[in-house]
Structure 1
Amino acid sequence: MFEAAVFAQRRQRLMDAIGPDAVAVFHSPPEAIRNGDAHYRYRQSSDLLYLTGFTEPEATLVLRPGAAKHRVVMFVRPRDKERETWDGRRAGVDGAVDRFGADVAYPCGELADKLPDLLSAEALYYSLGSDPAFDRTIASAIDQLRRRERRGVRPPARVVDPREVLHEMRLIKTPEEIAVLERAAAISVEAHTAAMAAAAPGTWEYELEALVDYTFRRRGGVGPGYTTIVGGGANATILHYVENDAQLRAGDLVLIDAGCEYGFYTADITRTFPVDGRFRGPQRDAYEVVLAAQREAIAHVRPGATLDDIHAAAVRVLTEGMVDLGLLPGPAEARVADGAYKTFYMHRTSHWLGMDVHDVGAYNRGGKPRPLAPGMVLTVEPGLYVAEDADGVPDALRGIGIRIEDDVLVTDDGCRNLTEAAPSAIADVEAACRAAAPAAMR
């Protein structure tokens, strides 16, 4: 993660934005049960991570811009030798102050008693609905303040969602964040390239998933930033296919959508390539359509453009290709206008990228698509999906799913593709497929 000063600067920016007569509260999500008494590996709320770097559960951050002292208050799990023996080390209240920048910290068990005294302000910035159990804690604290109003204690007059302010901060990446995203991208490129070399007829989807996720961890990532997708053949036409349990066949394509999370920022790459190393016939033609659409879409990424502009560029090229491939009747302009292309391309072309794979920040301003600005990071991911049972399509295209996705940084004068080193041109993909399989797959 970053130096403590980076988190302090972020907190100060947020406090400056909400003003001295406000208080902001951020709470960690509860640990998630996988099944029985087994838990998923814990992942902190990205908002709380962004402001503190603190990774443990049962944590609460209270920001009080107008306070004379103790402007940054944290509630955390106390040190506990027995629990740490079972579950791992804790920072404790001293660590929250010394390492994570709190002015004062308390055990999380004292939250209900101390919270009311911390919430006296004109406005409370808190995200209602994210955690119903903690909503009740907030409501109880406000109720206690209201009962003390005659004694001069002021309860918040309004509750404001802090995400509008905080998520705008997160949307524009700083140089430090871009450097971390570049590392996540480089690791992800290596993993995708390794998978191309490892794939062969008879390989199982889960073998490629294991290789990709292994590469993420081996290179210092915490693992995948989302569940890795490996879809061979018709499985690639399922957008969020995660079973990854089929055997790959000669003549099929395989689609891998996977991104490494590094330093709590994630990449998001998709590549589609031939299982046996060679694109053939209509399969090759369909791939060229998607690749051309992606290149045209990336060419539209620049300050002042919008995600709608990028999507429209991709849709135009894809729809022209659908007509040429015999998937749709012409003219292409009419098929764009009537939305017929959505049968084979049903998702948008871009989303924000950062600490979350579908990162935060408003897509529209004043009812209009927002213009891109330097520091934004987005995906560009056109695709073409022909279901096995699609009506009226050439048989050679049935069961083909293709998506090509890269992570693109908006710069002052255009854009920079952070993941362009992952092979996407046909000659480069076929060369990567011919490379020696990684040692882990031999």
Structure 2
Amino acid sequence: MSQASNDSDHGIYRARREMLAERLRLAGGGVALVPTAPVAIRSRDSEFPFRHDSYFHYLTGFTEPEALLAIVCDASGVRSHLFCRARDPEQEVWTGWRLGPDAAPAALGVDAAAPIERLDAELPGLLADRPAVWLGFGHSAALDARVAAAFERLRERARSGVQPPAALRDLTPLLDEMRLVKDAQEIGTMKRAIAISAHAHIRAMRHARAGQREYELEAELLHEFRRHGAQSPAYGSIVASGANACVLHYERNDARMAPGSLVLIDAGCELDGYAADITRTFPVDGRFTPEQRAVYEVVLAAQAAAIDCVLPGQPFDAAHDAAVRVLAQGLVDLKLLAGSVDEVIASGAYKRFYMHRTGHWLGLDVHDAGDYREPLAATLGSPDAAAERPSRRLKPGMVVTVEPGLYLRGDDLPPGFRDIGIRIEDDVLVTVAEGEVLSEAAPKSVAAIETLMAEARA
């Protein structure tokens, strides 16, 4: 879509821009510049499918390339300016319809719009005599260069009393704080994306057979994503069988799935800019071996303990700490590690088999924006403030993943436990009372998985 994200009401995006402007005002005002992502060349004259910048989309809902949003916040009020591609009937024959600057104010709710080709000429006027210019530091080298050129042009006019902004400020922390808590529209879109992704995992379980290539299950995922309207995967799907499941970011998806092996699928779709992120692990033959089941039950119990910690007011780190304790206990009980649970945790011995954190924020990006520690302002005055910042307290509207795992590799392990990789991941919304598991439609108990796969083979 070339307008606001399948949403004819642009009030949501206007409200977000006004919220950002208020934060700018409290910080002294200025001009915020937010570009969309550039077009990327795949090979010669072939481009990768365009994907907008998440910050830009969050403030506009606009999905065309070659665009920039400017928000001016000063004593006279707040004004939003959009620079976008001009209408071009000849080019539109090849690449599709464009919104254009004339239609943008009504379609997107911005105050003014101009062709992107006018940006370099108009940027000095937007920046002149402002207290600050706000950018996402390191996000766009092209915009950094344009702002530097505008500063130089303004300095050349210093004798006439015109000055460039007095400060260059990082816009990212302000937007990250806004994006961390999802509004009702965002939650609704994420629920749809997660529901589609859960059905894709079910489809993969139903179609899995020993002897297939991993990419055959990846194709089933993609079929289900597109069949229900998702625009793309939210990230490169992981379909990892056997020892491949012990590679955390496995990418090849081309091995033949051996009889008796487990398959770990980490996959989610992107719908209208929002990501889902679900992982399920299941036996390609439809039945867990005793060793596979024992390890699986440990991971499942660890996830349940972690989900119980996804509550308003709880620290983000609480879920990880709870999962680690259950995993460590399981490794000791299975005699894969020696010592007490406290010793295994204190020494970090468990990290041989569990080397990642238990979750992350989810939203417009699969690893979404937002600090995992309380804002720095809460600890200012301490001589070592950054190091002392406590884990972020969860609030209603935050969405997190909960994804413990165990990855057993090594010739020193008992034969039945070698090359077992298991991860179970769900997407959880923090509500006013609890953590709501949004991806529960994808089966994850041993009984549910084995029953589903048996029915598919009947």
Per-residue CA deviations over 1:74-110 (Å, capped at 9, x if unaligned) read: 1111111121111121111123222112211111111
> How many angstroms apart in 2 are the aligned matches of 1:143 and 1:327?
64
Match of 2:392 among 366, 370, 375: 370
Q: Is the 8 A contact 2:429 2:435 kept in 1?
A: yes
Q: Is the 8 A contact 1:146 1:155 kept in 2?
A: yes
Match of 1:29 among 14, 37, 56: 37
CA shift in 2, pair 1:282/1:70, >3 Å: closer
Are residues 1:229 and 2:251 paired?
no
Which residue does the alignment assign to 2:293?
Answer: 284
Are residues 1:432 and 2:452 paired?
yes
Match of 2:15 among 9, 27, 52: 9
Are residues 1:194 and 2:203 paired?
yes
Given residue 39 of structure 1, which amino acid in structure 2 is its aligned partner? E
Are residues 1:419 and 2:425 paired?
no
Match of 2:422 among 363, 380, 402: 402
> How many angstroms apart in 1 are the aligned matches of 2:317 and 2:45?
45
Are residues 1:320 and 2:325 paired?
no
Given residue 276 of structure 1, which amino acid in structure 2 is its aligned partner? D
Shift of the alpha carbon at 1:154?
3.0
Superposition pairs for residues 7-406 of structure 1, below 5 Å? Answer: 7-19=13-25, 21-66=29-74, 68=76, 71-120=79-128, 121-365=130-374, 366=376, 367-387=389-409, 390=410, 392-406=412-426
Q: Is the 8 A contact 2:411 2:418 kept in 1?
A: no
Q: Is the 8 A contact 1:326 1:394 kept in 2?
A: no
> How many angstroms apart in 1 are the aligned matches of 2:353 and 2:227?
37
> How many angstroms apart in 1 are the aligned matches of 2:24 and 2:197?
37
DSSP 3-state at the match of 2:188: helix
Q: Is the 8 A contact 1:323 1:330 kept in 2?
A: yes
**Which consecutive unaligned segments of at least 5 residues does structure 1 have?**
none
DSSP 3-state at the match of 1:369: coil
DSSP 3-state at the match of 2:92: helix
Aligned-residue CA RMSD (Å)? 1.5
Per-residue CA deviations over 1:245-288 (Å, capped at 9, x if unaligned) read: 11112100000001111121111000000000001111110000
Shift of the alpha carbon at 1:147?
2.3
Given residue 310 of structure 2, which amino acid in structure 1 is its aligned partner? V
Given residue 118 of structure 2, which amino acid in structure 1 is its aligned partner? E
**Which consecutive unaligned segments of at least 5 residues does structure 2 have?**
377-388
Given residue 114 of structure 1, which amino acid in structure 2 is its aligned partner? E
Per-residue CA deviations over 1:169-217 (Å, capped at 9, x if unaligned) read: 1110111111111111111110001111110111221111011111011
Shift of the alpha carbon at 1:308?
1.4
* Percent identical residues: 50
CA shift in 2, pair 1:235/1:308, >3 Å: same
> How many angstroms apart in 1 are the aligned matches of 2:109 and 2:327?
50
DSSP 3-state at the match of 2:327: helix
Q: Is the 8 A contact 2:154 2:162 kept in 1?
A: yes
CA shift in 2, pair 1:437/1:99, >3 Å: farther
DSSP 3-state at the match of 2:165: coil
DSSP 3-state at the match of 1:436: helix
Per-residue CA deviations over 1:95-129 (Å, capped at 9, x if unaligned) read: 32221122111111111111110013101111132
Given residue 217 of structure 1, which amino acid in structure 2 is its aligned partner? R
Q: Is the 8 A contact 2:21 2:73 kept in 1?
A: yes
DSSP 3-state at the match of 1:65: strand
Given residue 436 of structure 1, which amino acid in structure 2 is its aligned partner? A
Given residue 289 of structure 1, which amino acid in structure 2 is its aligned partner? V
TM-score normalised by structure 1 residue count: 0.96
Q: Is the 8 A contact 1:70 1:103 kept in 2?
A: no
Given residue 304 of structure 1, which amino acid in structure 2 is its aligned partner? G
Q: Count matched residues.
A: 436
> How many angstroms apart in 2 are the aligned matches of 1:101 and 1:435?
51
> How many angstroms apart in 2 are the aligned matches of 1:405 and 1:122?
46
> How many angstroms apart in 2 are the aligned matches of 1:23 and 1:64?
5
Per-residue CA deviations over 1:219-260 (Å, capped at 9, x if unaligned) read: 011121111110011111111111111111210000000111
- 286-295 vs 240-249, greater mean Cα deviation: 240-249
Given residue 433 of structure 2, which amino acid in structure 1 is its aligned partner? D
> How many angstroms apart in 2 are the aligned matches of 1:419 and 1:151?
61
> How many angstroms apart in 2 are the aligned matches of 1:158 and 1:323?
56
